[in-house]
Structure 1
Amino acid sequence: MSNPVETIVKNVCPLDCPDTCSMVVTVRDGVAVDLRGDRDHPFTRGFLCQKMARYLDRVSSPDRLMHPMRRIGPKGPGQGRFERISWDEALDRIADRFRAIADSADGPQAILPYSYYGTMGKLQAESLDRRFFHRLGASTLDRTICASAGGVGYEYTMGAGRLGADPMAVPECRLILNWGSNTVNTNSHLWSLMIEARKRTNATIVTIDPYKSPTARRSDWHLQPRPGTDAALALGLMHVIWRDQLHDQDYLDRGTVGAELLRDRVLTEYPPDRVAAITGVPVDQIETLARRYATEHPSLIRVNYGLQRHGGGGMAVRTISCLPAIVGAWRHRGGGTFLSTSGTYGLNSFALTRPDLSPPGTRSVNMNQLAEALAGELPGPRVMGLYVYNCNPAAVAPDQGKVLRGLRRDDLFTVVHELFPTDTVDYADIVLPATSQLEHEDIHTSYGHHFLMHNPRAIAPRGECRSNADVFRGLSDRLGFEPSLFPDDDTLMRQALDGGPALAGISLERLKAEGSVRLNIPEDYRPFSDGRFPTPSGKCELYSERMKADDFDPLPSYIPPLEDPQTRPELASRYPIQMVSPPRPQFLNSTFANSPAHLRAAGDPTIELADDDAAVRGLEAGDWAEVFNDRGRFLARVALTGAVRPGTAASTGIYWSKHSPGGSGVNATTSSALADMGGGATFFDNLVEVRKVDREESPSPNHAC
C-alpha cells in the first residue's frame, strides 16, 4: 500500500470581509483534508472566523452544484425543475440567446450582468467578466450595494484612494471608536489588535451603534444613537471640541480648508441639547466623548459600512471623517480614521476590466435598483437577459418581492453561475456550476490590511465546476470575440500588477513564491501627518468646492434618514419602528445560509425589540411575529435581549427565503431608494410594524430553518 501524497498549500479567504485571511490547507491524495489560519501571516495570526473555520464542509458539500443544467419547469421555488446538460450545450444556449437579444430592437443593453463579491478575487470578480460584457455592449452594473455612499463622502473630505490609518498600528492607540462597526464578527482580526491595545496602552474601546452588537457588549463604552443620526452626533462632538478650545489649531491651519466656516456652523446649529434630541444620546455622553476624543491620542475611528446605509449615509461618513483633522489625530501612528485600505494597492484596474470596450453611451444600472430594472422602469430597454455570478440577488437585493416578480418573468433569460442552489438559482434558465476558492487561481487585495496575496489552485475542480474566468473565455469564443482579450490567468495577473508605486518590487514570481507581500509603503505609515491630502486643495476639505459643484452642502451637515419618525410622522404613524438588518454572525451576507451547521448555530430568524415595544404589542420572547410595511413582510421570532432602544428593532440575516418561515426574508421590507451619494443602498432606512402571528399562521416546528 503506497503512502499518501500530502502537500501544504497557502490559500486566501475569498469572502467579502476586510480581513482577507491567509489559510493553510493540507491536501492529501488530491483531497483537502485540513484548513486553518496561517500562523505566519502578520494579520491572520493563526486563526479564522467561525464561518471560514468550516470552509472545507462547503468545498466537499453534497449539495454543491456539479453539472450544468437547464430549467424544464416553472420558475420559482420547487423541486425537479432542472435537467443536466453538457457544458457545450450550456454555453451554446447562452451565446445564442445573448446574440439574439443583442440583434433585437432592444440591442445588447437589454443584457445585464449582476455580480458582487461572492469572491473578492481579482481574476474571478473583476477581469474577464467585465471585459466580456463591455465587449458585448451590455448594460454596465453600478456595484453600489455595500460601501459606495460612504466611499464618496470619505473621498470628498480626504481625497482619492480613501486612505486612512494603518490597521497594524491599532495596538498603539489609546482611544478606539468602532463607529457603526461590529468589529468582533465582521473584522475579527482587527478586534484582536484592539484587545492588544487594551493590554499595551490601557486603551478604551468605544462602540457607537444603534444595535448592541457583540462588539458593543465587549466594549468599554457603548453609545446608542437612533439609526441614521450619526452625522448629528459627530457635529455635536465638534461643537464641544471647539466650544471648549480642545481643537488642534496648528493642524487646522496647515492641513484643512474651511475650518472657520465649520466651526461657526456647529457652534450655532448643533449644541449638545439639540443633538441629544436628534440622536437620543444623552448630553453628558456627548460631552464626555468629545473631551476624551480631543485629548486621548493616538485615537482611531473605525468607520464601517452600516452607518452609511440610509438616506444621508454619504454625508454621515463625510462628517465623521472630518473629526481627526479637528483634533490633530493624523499626527500619530495609528491615529485618524480607517474606512478601507483598498485604495492603497493601485492595481491596474483599467487593464483588468477594459472599460474602453464598452460602447459610448452605454447605460449603467444601479444594482440596488434590480427590481426597477427587471420591471422596465429605468431609462433604456427592459432587461431581457440576466447573468448572475458571485451574488444571490433573490436574497440580498432590496425590495425582495418586486425582485422576485421580475425574476419570475417568462420572457427573461436568466443564467446563474453558482456553487449551490441558492434562491436565485430557483429562477434560472441555465445553471452553471462554479469552483470554490481551493479550485481556481486568483490574486487578492484587502480592504482591511496592506498585504497583496496569491491564491493557487489547491485541488482539482469538483465534478464539472468551472471558474468565472474559464466560463467567460468559453462564451467569448462562441461569440467570436478577439482571443487576445481573454488570455490566461498569468497574463491577467501580470497586467494587474503593472500598477502604482505601492506595487513597486512586487512581481508575479515574487508573489507566487511568498504568497503574501506587504505593499511598498513605510512601516511607520502615517498618511496625513504632514497635513497633505490627495484632494484638489491638497488639504482635508472641511469645506468642499467639489461638493458645492455637485449640488451638495459643502460643509458637513446632518441629513435625516428617508424614513425617520422625526421627519416622517405620517409614515411613522403606520410603521413606527426603525429597523436595521445587520449581518448574523454565522453568515456572511447570504453565504453559508444553506449550511446545516451554520443554520443550526444561527437558529430561527429573529426580530429584536425593546421590552416596552414588545409589551404594547402583546409579544413575548420566543413568539413568532410578522414584520411588515408597504413593501412586504417576513416572519421571525421575538427576541428581548436589551440590544435595541425603544422605537428601534434589529433583524440579523441574511437567511435564504427557501429556508425561512413564510418564504421571505428581511429584504422583503427594505427599500430600493438610494442614499445621498454614490447611489448607495438604504437597507437600514426602514420603518416597519410588528404584530403577533395568530396560532394558525405560526410556522410548524419542522419548518425549513
Structure 2
Amino acid sequence: KGPGSQFVPVSWDEALTEISQRLRQVIDEHGAEAVLPYSYSGTLGYLQGEGMATRFFNRIGASQLARTICAEAGFHGYSYTLGAAVGMEPESYAHARLILIWGSNTLTSNMHLWPFIQQARKEGARVIVIDPARTRTARAADEWIAIHPGTDAALALAIMHVIINEKLHDADYVAQYTVGFAELRARVQEWTPQRAAQITGVPAPRIIELARDYASTRPAAIRINYGLQRHAGGGMAVRTVACLPALVGAWRDYGGGIQLSTSGGFRHLNVSALIRPGQIPNPHTRVINMIRLGDALSLEPTHRARALYHPRPVDPVPSAADAGAPVKALMIYNSNPAAVCPDQSAVLAGLRRDDLFTVVMDHFQTDTADYADFILPATTQLEHWDLLKSYGHYYLMLNQPAIAPVGQSLPNSDIFRRLAAALGYAEECFQETDEEILRKLIESQRNAVFETVTWDRLLEQGFARLNLPQPYLPFAEGNFPTPSGKCEFYSQRMAKDGYDPLPTYTPPLFAGDASGLPSAKLFEPAADADQLACISPPAHSFLNSTFVNLSRFQQREKEPLLWLHPQDAAARHIASGQTVRVWNALGSVTLTARVTEDIAPGVVLAPGVWWNKLSGDGRNINQVIHQDETDIGAGAIFYDVSVRVALVERELEREQPV
C-alpha cells in the first residue's frame, strides 16, 4: 500500500461482491463499529455528500464520524453567541461604509462576495483586512492590519474595552437585545489596548482608532472566515468577535452586522427522512473525531481513545477501556485524508496497515487512493442529481446531471445503493432513485422558511431563495435564536457545558514540540528564537487538495512554498528560491523559500494543500500539524503550530567555497 501501488481492473460486480464479503467478515469478527466511514467536502450535497451514505452506514451500525476538520470551533463559538450560523446576506455588504475582513482571504475563498464589497467601495466604504499575511485580499484593501496568529480574541477584547469605556456602544440596543453587558464590561477592563498590543502585534494607537471607527461608522460590516478559528482558542476567538455588532447596534442597519456562515439559515430543513437515523441499531455507537484519524487507525487502545469525540469540557475523557475495536474497514469518499489530515505520519502509518481493508471512492487516484484495496470511480456534479445548501448565501440549489456518467463511474448514492443490495439490505430506502429522494425531501418540508422552495421551481430555475424578508436584517430587533432570544455576551449554556461564559482570550499553543507554552512567549525572542509560528491557508488555485493534480493550477502555484519575513530569513541565511527544511517533533517537509514582507516577522506561511506525491519529498505541510483540538467544538488547529526552518544540506553545500 502506498505510492506506486499497482491496481488491476475488475468489474463492478466483482468489486461489489468482494467489498461486501470483506465488510461482512469484519462485522462478524470484530463488530459493526470496526467499520469507519470517512468523508468531508468533496461534495457538500445533501444526497451525494452524506444522504445515501448515512442510510448505508446507519444500517450497518458503523462507527460514526464527527466532521470537525473545517469549521466546528467557529460554528459553535458563533452559535453560543448569536444562536445559529446566521448573519448578513452577501448582497447587504454593498451598503456598508466600513468593512472589516477578519481572518478571511475573500479574493481566494469567497470570490462571489467581492463584487458587493467593490460596490460598497465605490460608494465610499473603507475595507480593512486583519490577517497575519498580506493576502490578495489585503493587497486589494484600503489597509492591512498584521496580527500575530491566534491572537484575534485579544484584539476584539481591546476593541470592546475602548468602545465601552468611551461610551461608544449602542446603549439602547444593548439594553433591549443582549444579555450579560455588565459582566462583559467588567471582563474587558483588563484588556487595555496596551496589553492587547503586546500580544497581537497591533500598535495600541491603531487599536484605539479602529475601535472608534468601528463604533462610529454606519453601516459597519464584519466578514470573518474559518481561518480565524483554526487554533487552540479558535472557538472563543469567533465568539468574541461575534459580540461586536450587537455592542454597537450594527445589526440595526442593512449592511451592518457580521457573517461567518449562512448555513444556519437552512437549519430547519428536516433531513431525518433522508439519513434515516432510526436505522442505527445501537444508539450509543462510538463517534470518531475525524481530525484524529491517525489515532483512530492505531492498534493501541490509548491512541484510539484519544480519537473518540468529546467536544465539551463537561464530557468525560475517554480511557483505553472505552476505545472499542480497532478499525478494520475504512470507507473513504469525498475526502483525501492522506493529504489533508493533521499528523500525516500517523495517518499514513494507519493506512499502510496490512490488516486494514480500505475502499476509496474518487474521481482521481489521490494520495489516499494509493493506499486503497479498491478504488471506485465516482461521478462529478456534472453527472448526478443533488441538492445543496450554502454557507455564503440563502439559496437552496438543485444540481441536475448535465451529462451521463463518464465511463464506469457511478454517483456515490448508487455505489452505496449497490453495496446495500450486495449485503442483502432490502429496505425501501435503498430502492428509491436519486430524483425521488430529492423530490420527497423538498415536498416534506413544513417550516415557513421553505415556502418559496418548491420542486417545480427548482427544476425550472435550479435555485430558490429561502422565504426571508427583503431586505434581510436578521437581528435588527433582536430575535436571536439563542435560549434568551438575545445576543449572549454571557452564555449560561456555555457555563453549563464547562466553558468560560464570557468572551476571553485563549492563547495558541507553542505546539510544534508539544511544550504547551502559550503564544505570549512565542513572539518573544527570549523564548526560543529558532521557532516560528506556522500557518497553512489554502493556495489561491487549489480548494484544499482539490485541483492540485491539474498541471495548469500547479504552474500557477509553482511549487510548495514557505513564506518567510526577510528578518527571519536573514537570521537563517535563507534566500528566495532556496530549498528549506521545516520541522518539529512530529515530522518534517522540504519547501521552497519565498522571502517576503507579506508575512509578519516570527511567522511562516505554507500555502496548501499539495498532494504528497506531487511534492518534492513526498510529504506536505501536514507532516508538522498535530492532532490536538480547538477549545470549542474539537476542531483542527492547522494554524497553531511552531516549527524550525533551515536550509537543507544540499543548499548549504552549494554555498561552500570550492
For residues 688 and 170 of structure 1, the distance between their equivalents in structure 2, rounded to whole angstroms, comes to 38
**Does structure 2 retain, via aligned residues, the 8 Å contact 1:477–1:483?**
no
Matched, 1:420 2:364: yes
Q: Which residue of 2 aligns with 1:40?
A: none
Aligned equivalent of 2:2, options 76, 79, 82? 76
Q: Which residue, 270, 273, 277 being the options, matches 1:348?
A: 270
Equivalent residue number for residue 538 of structure 1: 485
Q: Which residue of 1 aligns with 2:36?
A: 112
Q: How does 1:23-102 map to 2 (within 5 A)?
A: 75-79=1-5, 81-102=6-27
Change (3 A) 1:439 1:697: farther
- Distance change (3 Å), C-alpha of 1:587 and 1:270: same
The residue that corresponds to 2:122 in the other structure is: 199
Deviations 1:504-560 (A, max 9, x none): 132212211121111111111101100221111111100000111111100000000
Determine whether 1:132 maps to 2:56: yes
Would you say the 8 A contact 1:629–1:688 is kept in 2?
Answer: yes
CA distance in 2, matches of 1:572, 1:85: 58
Q: Does 2:404 correspond to 1:460?
A: yes
Determine if contact 1:110/1:384 at 8 Å carries over to the other structure. yes
1:349 Cα offset (Å): 2.2
Aligned to 2:175: 253
Of stretches 516-525 and 492-501 in structure 1, the one that deviates more from structure 2 is 492-501
2:537–2:608 contact (8 Å) kept in structure 1: yes
| Partner Cα separation in structure 2 for residue 187 and residue 654 of structure 1 | 17
> How many angstroms apart in 2 are the aligned matches of 1:102 and 1:588?
35
1:82–1:570: structure 2 CA closer, same or farther, 3 Å change rule? farther
What is the aligned partner in structure 2 of residue 65 from structure 1? none
What does residue 703 of structure 1 align with? none
The change in CA–CA distance for 1:418 and 1:523 in structure 2 (over 3 A counts) is same
> Separation in 2 of the partners of 1:369 and 1:94?
25
Read off the aligned partner of 2:584 and give its amino acid letter. Answer: N
Per-residue Cα deviation, 1:331-387 (whole angstroms, up to 9, x for no partner): 011211101111112322222222232221100000000000001422221111000
Aligned pair count?
620
**Mapped contact 2:332–2:358 kept (Cα < 8 A):** yes
Query: 1:565·1:571 contact (CA, 8 Å) conserved in 2?
Result: no
Shift of 1:503: 1.0
Residues 1:336 and 2:257 are matched in the alignment? yes
Q: Kindly tell me: are residues 697 and 403 of structure 1, through their superposed partners in 2, closer, same or farther at Cα, counting changes over 3 Å? A: farther
Structure 1 position 595 matched with structure 2 position 550: yes
Q: Which residue of 2 is the match for residue 162 of structure 1?
A: 85
Contact kept? 1:371, 1:399, Cα under 8 Å: yes
Query: What is the match of residue 246 of structure 2?
Result: 325
Give 1:119 shift: 1.1
Structure 1, unaligned stretches of length 5 or more? 1-74, 700-705
Distance 1:698 1:220 in 2: 44
1:493 paired residue number: 438
Cα deviations by residue, 1:157-188 (Å, 9 ceiling, x for unpaired): 001x3111111111000011111000011001
Partner in structure 2 of residue 44 of structure 1: none
Residues 527-676 of structure 1 aligned to structure 2 (within 5 Å) = 527-563=474-510, 564-567=518-521, 573=528, 576-676=531-631
- One-letter amino acid of the counterpart of residue 348, structure 1: N
Matched residue, 1:296: 217
The match for 2:66 is 142
Give, as a single letter, the amino acid of the residue that structure 2 aligns with 1:693: V
1:698 to 1:327, Cα distance in 2 relative to 1, 3 A: farther
Is the partner of 1:127 in helix, strand or coil? helix
SS for the counterpart of 2:509 is coil
Percent of residue pairs identical: 49
Shift, 1:697, TM fit: 9.3
Kept after mapping to 2: 8 A contact 1:574/1:689 = no
Measure, in 1, the Cα distance between the counterparts of 2:474 and 2:59: 38
Q: Which residue of 1 aligns with 2:101?
A: 178
Measured after TM superposition, the shift of residue 483 of structure 1 is 3.2
Contact preservation (8 Å) 1:116, 1:390: yes
| 8 A contact 2:521–2:527 mirrored in 1 | no
Amino acid at match of 1:352: L
Which residue of structure 2 lines up, in the alignment, with residue 684 of structure 1? Answer: 639
Contact 1:622 1:637 in 2 (8 A): yes
Gaps of 5+ in 2: 305-322, 511-517
For normalisation by structure 2, the TM-score amounts to 0.92
Code of the residue aligned with 2:93 in structure 1: it is: V
Match among 381, 398, 401 for residue 437 of structure 1: 381
Question: Which shows bigger deviation, 687-696 or 299-308?
Answer: 687-696
Contact 1:575–1:687 (Cα < 8 Å) also in 2: no
Q: Is the 8 A contact 2:507 2:519 kept in 1?
A: no
Inter-partner Cα distance in structure 1 for 2:556 and 2:477: 48
* Preserved contact between residue 560 and residue 567 of structure 1 (Cα < 8 Å): no
**Map of 2:515 onto structure 1:** none
Deviation at 1:572, TM superposition (A): 5.9
TM-score, length-scaled by structure 1: 0.86
Asked if residue 373 in structure 1 is aligned to residue 317 in structure 2, the reply is no
Q: Distance in 2 between the 1:140 and 1:572 partners?
A: 42
| 8 Å CA contact retained: 2:133, 2:598 | yes
Q: 1:66-90: CA deviations, max 9, x gaps?
A: xxxxxxxxx01015x1000000111
Equivalent of residue 204 in structure 2, options 255, 263, 283: 283
State whether residues 100 and 222 of structure 2, in contact with CA within 8 Å, keep that contact through their aligned partners in structure 1. yes
**CA distance in structure 1 between the partners assigned to 2:526 and 2:418 by the alignment:** 51
Give the corresponding residue for 2:149.
227
1:407 aligned residue (351, 369, 386): 351
CA displacement at 1:445 relative to structure 2 = 1.1
Taking the aligned partners of 1:172 and 1:505, their CA distance within structure 2 comes to 26
- 8 Å contact kept, 1:308–1:316: yes
Q: Structure 2: how far apart are the matches of 1:593 and 1:434? A: 18
- For residue 291 of structure 1, what is the amino acid of its counterpart? R
Q: Cα 1:587–1:263, aligned 2, differ >3 Å: closer, same or farther?
A: same
Asked whether 1:515 is paired with 2:462, we answer: yes
Runs of 4+ more than 4 Å apart: 567-572, 696-699
- What per-residue deviation string (whole Å, max 9, x for no partner) do you get for residues 14-59 of structure 1? xxxxxxxxxxxxxxxxxxxxxxxxxxxxxxxxxxxxxxxxxxxxxx
Answer yes or no: is the 8 Å Cα contact 2:457–2:463 preserved in 1.
no
Q: State the distance in 2 between where 1:313 and 1:203 align.
A: 28
Superposition deviation, residue 586 in structure 1: 0.7
Aligned residue for 1:141, secondary structure, equals strand
Q: Among residues 510, 522, 525, which one is paired with 2:472 in the alignment? A: 525
Q: Does residue 191 of structure 2 align to residue 244 of structure 1?
A: no
What is the deviation of 1:570? Answer: 12
RMSD of the alignment, in Å? 1.6
Deviations 1:118-177 (A, max 9, x none): 112211002000110011000000001000011001111001x31111111110000111
**Aligned-residue offset at 1:265:** 1.1
Preserved contact between residue 452 and residue 464 of structure 2 (Cα < 8 Å): no
